């Protein structure tokens, strides 16, 4: 069946621009996670949704980062006033049980 999809796959932004990254989880998956992966590092947790409820956002690095999942399916990660240090791969994962299934990621480059 279809896996987790993310769009765009690549995004180049000028410093100060706002960006929106989309995640389409596997149909029926209740849980949705966002991760940030810097070059050469493992993914780091950003935030977690259970259906439409954002139950943990402890990993969001600043108040410029905002995530939503209004209908409990598609999720959007928004970064306002992007900075160069925001350049990374942003991964989305969904799960029904304990195992998380990851999308291909969005590679964000802030110039």
Partner 1 sequence: DAKTTQPPSMDCAEGRAANLPCNHSTISGNEYVYWYRQIHSQGPQYIIHGLKNNETNEMASLIITEDRKSSTLILPHATLRDTAVYYCIVRVATDNFNKFYFGSGTKLNVKP
What is the smallest separation between the CB atom of 49 and partner 1, expressed in angstroms?
9
Q: Does 7 bind partner 1 (CB under 8 A)?
A: no
Q: Under 8 Å CB-to-CB from 88, ≥6 apart: which residues? A: 36, 37, 38, 39, 107, 108
Closer Cβ to partner 1, 40 or 70, answer by number: 40
Q: Which of 7, 20, 73, 101 binds partner 1 (CB under 8 A)?
A: 101
Name the residue among 69, 36, 30, 28 with its Cα closest to residue 52: 69
Name the residue among 7, 30, 36, 37 with its Cα closest to residue 100: 30
Stretch that binds partner 1, among 11-19, 38-46, 61-69, 79-87 (CB under 8 A): 38-46
Q: Does 60 bind partner 1 (CB under 8 A)?
A: no
Q: What is the CA radius of gyration of the chain?
A: 13
Q: Does 48 bind partner 1 (CB under 8 A)?
A: yes
Phi-psi region of 109 (alpha: psi -120 to 50; beta: other; left: phi over 0): beta
Q: Does 103 bind partner 1 (CB under 8 A)?
A: yes
DSSP three-state, residue 73: coil
Closer Cβ to partner 1, 55 or 111, answer by number: 55
Length of the chain: 111
Residues of this chain that bind partner 1 (CB under 8 A): 4, 31, 33, 35, 40-45, 48, 50, 55-56, 91, 93, 98-105
């Amino acid at each position: 069946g279809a896996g987790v999809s993310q769009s765009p796959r690549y995004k180049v932004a000028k410093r100060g621009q706002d960006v929106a990254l989309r995640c389409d989880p596997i149909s029926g998956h209740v849980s949705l996670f966002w991760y940030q992966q810097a070059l050469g590092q493992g993914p780091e947790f950003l935030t977690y949704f259970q259906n439409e409820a954002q139950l943990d956002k402890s990993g969001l690095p600043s108040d410029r980062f905002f995530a939503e999942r209004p209908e409990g399916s598609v999720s959007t990660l928004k970064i306002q006033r992007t900075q160069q240090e925001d350049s990374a791969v942003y991964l989305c994962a969904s799960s029904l049980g304990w195992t998380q299934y990851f999308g291909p990621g969005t590679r964000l480059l802030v110039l």
